[in-house]
Amino acid sequence: MEFFLVSEDVSVDQQTNRMSLFNVIEQLASPSFPFPLLYAASVSLWVAEDDDDEGKDYQCILRILLPDGIKHDFPTNFTFKTRRHRIITRIQGIPITKPGLLQFEILLNGKHHATHEIDILQIDPNELLPAAETI
């Protein structure tokens, strides 16, 4: 795996195949629960190794683990046609029922490869959410 990220959306230019991610998600906040995760897009980039057979079938699973323990799996099968293979999974409307840790996990053939974590915060509707600190 080259990388794995979760953002609000992703765009792939049809002429150049260049990809742009919009608003990488690090945290979400709401004054009340439940609320829907309106849009999210996960992107993983896989690079074939020398011993990978051309035409071999791989199963990639995007697993979403909600703060309340509910799990959603989104499987995708693929084969390498070139050295790199990009998987984009768009989701919408998943209900977030409580604050905590929202995890997006990526598995290849059942083996864990990466996790993207999103903090789910409950905020006072009268207070502003502090900006993330930068280093």
Q: Give residue-wise pLDDT tens across range 98-124.
A: 999 999 999 999 999 999 999 999 988
Residue 44 CA to residue 85 CA, distance in Å, equals 8
Q: Which two structure tokens, joined as six digits, stand for 43?
A: 């992107």
Q: Would you kindly state where each structural domain of the chain is located, as residue ranges?
A: 3-122
From the list 111, 7, 105, the residue with the least C-alpha distance to 63 is 105
* DSSP H or E stretch at residue 88: strand 84-91
> pTM (2 decimals)?
0.88
Residue 49 CA to residue 28 CA, distance in Å, equals 36
Provide mean pLDDT across the span 39-63.
90
Pair 118, 6: CB distance under 8 Å: yes
Residue with tokens 């609320």: 35
| CA-derived radius of gyration, the chain | 17
Q: Does the structure show a pLDDT above 50 at 135? A: no
* Percentage above 70 pLDDT, the chain: 93
From the list 71, 70, 58, 72, the residue with the least C-alpha distance to 113 is 58
Q: How do 111-122 and 27-30 pair as beta strands?
A: parallel
CATH homologous superfamily, domain 3-122: Macroglobulin (MG2) domain (2.60.40.1930)
pLDDT tens figures, 63-84: 999 999 999 999 999 999 889 9
